[in-house]
Structure 1
Amino acid sequence: MLLSEGKIGNMRLKNRFVMLPTVTNLSNDGFVSEKEINYYDRRSKDVGLVIVEACYVNKFGKFFKNQLGIDGDDKIEGLKRLADVIKKNGAKVAVQLAMHNPKYKPSDFTVEDIKGFAKDFVDAAKRAKKAGFDAVELHFAHGWFVNQFLSPNVNTRDDEYGGDFDGRARFALEILENVKREVRDLTVICRINGSDYTDGGFDINESIKLSRLLEEHGADAINVSSGVGSTSEYHISPMGIDDRPLIAHVKKIKDSVSIPVIAADKLGVAADWESIVRQGYADFIGIARGLIGDPDCVGKYIEGKADEIKYCIHCNQACIAYIQKGLPVSCMMNPTVGREKEFDAAAKEKLNVAVIGGGPAGMSAAIYLAKKGHNVELFEKSDSLGGQLKVAKVPPHKSEIGEVIHYLEADLKKYGVKVNLNHEVTCDELKNMNYDKVIIATGSIPKKLNMKMGIVPLRAIDVLDGKIPNGSNVAVIGGGLTGLETAEYLATMGKTVTVLEELDEVGKDIYAMNKKLLIERLKNLGVRIVTNAKVDVINNVKIVYNNGNEVEADDVVIAIGNIPDEKFKKCVSDNIIFIGDCKEIATAVEAIRDGAELSLII
C-alpha cells in the first residue's frame, strides 16, 4: 500500500510518504540558502511529496529567528531553486504558508486587519505557484495564528470572526476559499489540529466539523496534527508519549471526509506505517523528525531494508529545542543535518587513528573518521560500548535512548572500525602506540559531595546501573535531569523519594516540554521536591539542610553533576586530541557532534 501511487488534488504521487514541514532555521534572513537546498536535496529522493517548512506570509507572522519567508516577490527566485531541486528528485513539492505571533490574540485585530491577513495568504500562494510549487499547505494548527481564531478558549471576539463555531472558522475558510479562487490549479492541503488538548479548546468534535467544511470549500487534503504551545507534546511527541498518539483523531477525521488524510507524529516503525494505511486510518504517512535523523529511512523501506532504518528516538534535544533557541536544526543521531556538503569530503591523506573511549563522542569520532577514509581503531575499557548512554536509557520513558547505541554500533561495523572491548589504555601504552592521531574520549565522572557524612551515599549512575538502595525512604541530592530521572526510577519501584535541589528550580537545563512531562510524572508518583535546599550534614538516618531542616532517609543518592575525566591530561602530546565530556561537560547531542566534527579537521 505505501508504495502504491497516491493522489492529492491534481498531484499524482509516486508513493504514500510525505515529508512533513519542519522549520530548519537555515534561511538567510528569510531567503533560501545553499544549506537549505542541500538539506531538502538530501531528503527528497524517496518520498512522494515534500512539504517545505512553515514560510511566513508577512513579517508580522514571522516567529523563528531564521525562518523561511514567502512574504515578498524577491523570495520567489530562491524558492524556485528549492522547488526545482526537489522536483528533480522525483517528488512533488508543496510549501506551508503560515503566520504566528503569540504576542497577540484574535480580539486584538480589526475586521480590516483580518481581511488583510487573508490576502497575505493568497499573495503567498501566488508566489508559490510562480516559484513552481505543486501545492501549498495552509497552517491552521499548533496554536499558530489561524488556530487561535478556531479555538474557543482563545478567540473571544463577538463579531463575525468569533463566537460560535461558524464564526471562529470563518477566517480559515476565507483563506482557503480565496486561495482556491485566485490561484487556480494549485493543490491546497490544510493542516489542522485534531485537538488543542487544552481545557475548553478546539477538540476532535470541532475538528471533524472543520474538516467537512474545509472539504466543502475546496481543500484537497487534510494533514492532522494536534496541540498548541502549552501542549506541544501532541505534535512533536517526545519519549514520554506513546507511539501513534493522534491516530484515533486521524481515523475519525478520515471517516468524516472523502479527501485524503495525512497522518503525523510519532507513527512508530515501518510495520506500523503499513498498518495505518492498510487498515484505513490514513491515506498518507507523514514523517518529519524521522527524515531529519535518517534521510534514507523511506529509501530503506522501499529497498526492503526496513531493519536498517534509524528511527527517531524523539528526544527533541537538537531539532525542536535548537529551533526554539534560534539555532539551526540538528539531531542527536545525525549531526550532519543542514551541513550535508561539509561532511561529504574524503580524506586527502589516510591516517591511522586510535580512539580511546567507547561512549557517544568516541563512537561518533571513530565513525566519521572512518567514513572519511581513515583507518580507525577504538579502545573501550568496559565490556560494551555506549558510555553513559547505557544508563541514560534506564529511567522510565527513556528506553529509546538505547537505540542510539545500536545505531552507532551498526555504523562502526559498516565503516570498518576495529573495536577493542575490555581494553583499558594506560598513559604508558599510549606513548608507545604507533598512530598518526590519538583521540581521547573518556567522558566524565560524577562529582563528589564534599561534606560530613555518616553514611556512604550511592551515585545516581550506579543506581541506574542496577545498584538499588535497600531502604524504603531515599533522598536524591541534585535536581538536574539525572537526579529527577533517578528519582522517578526509584519511585516506580515503590520507594518514597525526596529530591533536594540547591537552586530555586529543578531541571533548569531540561527542554521545557520534556521537563513538563517529567515533573507531572514525579508528582503523580508522590516524589517530594525541595528547592533552595543547601545540604549541611548527612548522617545515618537523616539529611540536614538549610541549618536545621531535616529529611529522613534510609539511603542517599548523589546526582550533583559530572566533571571531566582528566586521567589522560598528563599524556598530552602533539598527536593527541581531547573530545566530548573529558574536554568539556555537555549533552549526548554535543558529544556526538563533537566527535563528528573532528572529521572536518582531520
Structure 2
Amino acid sequence: MMKFEKMSTPITIGNMVVKNRFVVPPMGNNFANTDGTMSEQSVAYYSARAAGGFGLITLEATVVHPGAKGGPRKPCLYDDAFVPSFKAVIDACHAHGAKVSIQLQNAGPDGNAKNAGAPIEAASAIANKCGKDIPVAVPTARVYELAQGYGEAAKRAMAAGADAVEIHMAHGYLVSSFISPRTNKRVDEFGGSFENRMRFPRLIVDAVKKAVGDKVAIIARINGADDMPGGIDVHDAATIAAELEAMGVQGLHVSRAVHLKDEFMWAPTQTHAGFNAEQAAEIKRAVSIPIITVGRYTEPQYAELMVREGRADLVAFGRQSLADPELPNKALAGKLSDLTPCIACLQGCVANMFKGEPICCLTNPALGYESQNISPASTAKRVLVAGGGVGGLYAAFLCAQRGHSVTLYEASDTLGGNMRLAAFPPGKGDLTNMVRSAIVKCQKTGVQILLNTPLTMDEIKAENPDAVIVATGATTLMLPIPGIDAPEILHGGDVLAGTVAAGKKVLVVGGGMVGCETAAFLGERGHDVTVVEFRDTCGADVINEHRVYLMEDFRNYRIGQVTSAKVVAFYTDGVDYDSPDGSRHTLRGYDSVVLSMGYRNYDPLSADLEAAGIPHYTIGDATRARRALDATREAYDTALEI
C-alpha cells in the first residue's frame, strides 16, 4: 500500500506554513447569503473540510467590485460589512489547523448583468459564448481603478484573518480576458504585446502587495492552457508564471480552460486523475515558487507521485472534497477503503452552481447539510430495505449508522442495480467505485445483506419491522408499440450485463442517455450500430461535459443516427417509424434490435404495505425513474426521519 509521505509534509508559501499538501480549491457552492455575506452553512461546509485534514482551504470566488456579482449567492469583499462573516468561516477552519485562502474574482465577461445590476466588463467587447451578455470594453482609466479594488479586497481578507489571497487570473474571467490574445484586442497600454497584456495583472499584484505586505501570502490562479485556438497554451502559461513570480506572486494554482471547454474545467467521469499534470509540470520548471495542481484528482495515489517527483508542490481535490471532506485523514490513516468517491457525474455540483442553487452531491448527500450530523436515533428500530441499488444501499447504511437494525434484500445475485450497469459503457468505470463504497459502508455498519432474496409481504409480516424502505428501482420502459415484447428484442440492461449477446449489425431503439451509452458500449466492441431516436438530437438528456465524449465515441465508432423518428412497430430485424411530416419509413436487416427507451418505476410493495398499515418509505426510481442523485438524497432524508 502506498504511503503518502510527501502529501503529509508541510510546505511554506510566502510566510504561510501549510501542514500538508492537500488543498480544497475554490468552488462556487451557493451557500453564501444573497447579500454577499458568508452563511452559517458556509461555516459548517468549510470547517468540515478543515476537520477532515485539508491543509489549505480556499474560499470560493469572492467578488471584489460592486456591480461584478456573477450569481445571486456569490460572497463579496468590496465593503467592510462583509468582513465579520468571512472571519467566522476562517476562525472555524483555523480551529482545525487549516490555513485559509480567499479567491479574489471579478467574473468579467462571464458575469451576469442582471445579477450584477450593472454592465459586465472585459478587456474587449467580446461575448464569452452564445447567449452571454456582450461585455463593455473597460475604459483605460477604469482599469487602474479595478486594480485597486483587488488591493482593497485583499486588505479586508487580511482583516478577516485569511492566511492568503488567490487572485483569479484564469478561465476567461476579467483578468484572463486581458492576458489572453484571444480576448484582448486593445490598442492602449493594456493590449498588444505580452508586457502590455500583463500590465493589468501587475497593477493588481502591486495593489495587493501594498495592502497586505508580507502578512498574507499571494497566490494567483492561472490557466495552464485556454484550450482554444489563439488562446494561451502551456508555453505561454510558463512565461506568464515566470512573470508573475517576478512581480512578487508567491504561489501558483494551475487550472485549465475557458468556459467554451468546460469538459476540461470540471472533467467528467471519462477523464482520469491528473489530466492537467503535464501542464503543471511544465510551469513548475519555469518558476521556483510552489505550484498547486488541480484536475479530477480523486484517490490520492497519483497526487503523491506528483509531489514526490517534483512536478507539483500541492494538489487540489475539488469535487472529491465535496464527496468526502475527510479524504486527507483517511489517506494518512490508511483507511482509503472508507473513502466516498467522486464519480464526476456533475449532477449536483456543477448543475446547481450554474442554477444559483446550493450545490449537492450524488455520492455524499450530506453535502450542504454538514450541520445536521447523522446522529443516533432516539429509539433503535428494525428496518427492512427492499432493493440493493444505490438508493437501497445508502438508505441501509445510513439507517445503520443511526443505530437501527437493518436487513437489505436484493432479488439478484449482485448489488448495485442500474448504477452498476451504468459503469459498463466506455469511460464510466469509476461508477463502480461508488457502488463498492456503499457496500463497504453497509458491511462496516452491520447491515445484513441477503442476495437472491426478494422482499415479500410474507417476509415483512414475519419480521414485523418498524419500517420498510422500498428501493426496488426501475425496469425497462415498455411502450404500447406492436412487437416491442417479442422475445427476440434485447433489452439494453441485459446487453450491458452480458446476459445476452447482440449480433454484428445492431439497431438501438432510444437515443437518450441509456440508449446512446449502450450504443457506445457496442460500438467499442466492433458492432455496426445505428441509433433511432424520437427527439431531433441523440443524447439530448446527457450533461454537456459528458456528451462531448459520448459524441466523440459516436464519431470514432461510426454509430449511425436516425432522429425525429417515432417508432410505430418492432420487428425481429428492425422497426418502422414515422417522421414529423407523417411519412412512414422502415429500418430492417439488423441482426439484433436493442430496446433502450429508458426506464419506468418498479414498486411491487408500497400498495400492499399501505393496505397493511405498515410504516414504509418509497425512494429513488421505485417512485419514478430519475437520477441517482434523487435516490441518494431521498435515502438520506428517509434515514434521518426513521
TM-score (norm 2): 0.91
User: Does the alignment pair 1:274 with 2:280?
Assistant: no
Deviations 1:87-146 (A, max 9, x none): 111111110011114265422221123223222211111110111101100111122221
In structure 2, C-alpha distance between the alignment counterparts of 1:79 and 1:87, rounded to whole Å: 12
Residue 592 (structure 1) shift: 1.0
Deviations 1:23-43 (A, max 9, x none): 111111121111110111111
Match of 1:295 in 2: 325
User: Does the alignment pair 1:527 with 2:534?
Assistant: no
Inter-CA distance 22–93: structure 2 relative to 1 (3 Å threshold):
same
Greater mean alpha carbon deviation, residues 4-13 or residues 302-311: 302-311
2:273 to 216, 220, 243: 243
Match of 1:263 in 2: 293
In structure 2, C-alpha distance between the alignment counterparts of 1:307 and 1:359, rounded to whole Å: 20
Match of 1:20 in 2: 25
Match of 1:472 in 2: 504
Match of 1:102 in 2: 110
In structure 1, C-alpha distance between the alignment counterparts of 2:335 and 2:451, rounded to whole Å: 29
In structure 2, C-alpha distance between the alignment counterparts of 1:528 and 1:153, rounded to whole Å: 36
- 1:194-593 matches, cutoff 5 A: 194-267=224-297, 269-453=299-483, 456-467=488-499, 469-546=501-578, 547-552=583-588, 553-573=590-610, 574=613, 575-593=615-633
Match of 2:54 in 1: 47
TM-score (norm 1): 0.96
In structure 1, C-alpha distance between the alignment counterparts of 2:505 and 2:320, rounded to whole Å: 41
Q: For structure 1, which runs of at least 5 residues remain unmatched after alignment? A: none
Match of 2:115 in 1: none
Deviations 1:290-327 (A, max 9, x none): 11111111011222334433332222222222212222
Tell whether the 8 Å contact from 2:103 to 2:168 is kept in structure 1 after alignment: yes
In structure 2, C-alpha distance between the alignment counterparts of 1:488 and 1:168, rounded to whole Å: 44
Greater mean alpha carbon deviation, residues 498-507 or residues 393-402: 498-507
Residue 49 (structure 1) shift: 1.3
Inter-CA distance 538–327: structure 2 relative to 1 (3 Å threshold):
same
Where 1:61 maps in the other structure, the secondary structure is coil
AA in 2 matched with 1:170: R
AA in 2 matched with 1:60: G
Residue 468 (structure 1) shift: 5.0
- RMSD between superposed Cα atoms in Å: 1.7
Deviations 1:230-263 (A, max 9, x none): 1122232212223211111111111110111111
Inter-CA distance 570–267: structure 2 relative to 1 (3 Å threshold):
closer
Inter-CA distance 379–540: structure 2 relative to 1 (3 Å threshold):
closer
AA in 1 matched with 2:525: M
Where 1:113 maps in the other structure, the secondary structure is helix
AA in 2 matched with 1:601: E
Match of 1:156 in 2: 185
Greater mean alpha carbon deviation, residues 81-90 or residues 531-540: 531-540
2:76 to 69, 74, 87: 69
Greater mean alpha carbon deviation, residues 56-65 or residues 364-373: 56-65
Residue 267 (structure 1) shift: 3.1
Greater mean alpha carbon deviation, residues 309-318 or residues 211-220: 309-318
Tell whether the 8 Å contact from 2:617 to 2:638 is kept in structure 1 after alignment: no
Greater mean alpha carbon deviation, residues 369-378 or residues 397-406: 369-378
> Identity rate of aligned residues, in percent?
34
In structure 2, C-alpha distance between the alignment counterparts of 1:468 and 1:494, rounded to whole Å: 16
Residue 524 (structure 1) shift: 2.3
Tell whether the 8 Å contact from 2:387 to 2:408 is kept in structure 1 after alignment: yes
In structure 1, C-alpha distance between the alignment counterparts of 2:475 and 2:334, rounded to whole Å: 43
In structure 2, C-alpha distance between the alignment counterparts of 1:325 and 1:400, rounded to whole Å: 26
Deviations 1:389-434 (A, max 9, x none): 1201101100000011110011101211111111112233333331
In structure 2, C-alpha distance between the alignment counterparts of 1:349 and 1:341, rounded to whole Å: 21
AA in 1 matched with 2:64: V
Tell whether the 8 Å contact from 2:619 to 2:634 is kept in structure 1 after alignment: yes
Greater mean alpha carbon deviation, residues 289-298 or residues 173-182: 173-182
Where 1:137 maps in the other structure, the secondary structure is strand
Match of 1:8 in 2: 13
Match of 2:99 in 1: 92
In structure 1, C-alpha distance between the alignment counterparts of 2:194 and 2:270, rounded to whole Å: 33
Alignment size in residue pairs:
602
Where 1:324 maps in the other structure, the secondary structure is helix
Where 1:178 maps in the other structure, the secondary structure is helix
In structure 1, C-alpha distance between the alignment counterparts of 2:66 and 2:369, rounded to whole Å: 27
In structure 2, C-alpha distance between the alignment counterparts of 1:388 and 1:306, rounded to whole Å: 25
Residue 59 (structure 1) shift: 4.1
AA in 1 matched with 2:605: F
Match of 2:640 in 1: 600
AA in 2 matched with 1:211: A
In structure 2, C-alpha distance between the alignment counterparts of 1:520 and 1:324, rounded to whole Å: 25
In structure 2, C-alpha distance between the alignment counterparts of 1:542 and 1:49, rounded to whole Å: 58
In structure 2, C-alpha distance between the alignment counterparts of 1:122 and 1:424, rounded to whole Å: 64
Residue 165 (structure 1) shift: 2.2
Greater mean alpha carbon deviation, residues 310-319 or residues 38-47: 310-319
Runs of 4+ in 1 over 6 A off after TM superposition: none
AA in 1 matched with 2:123: P
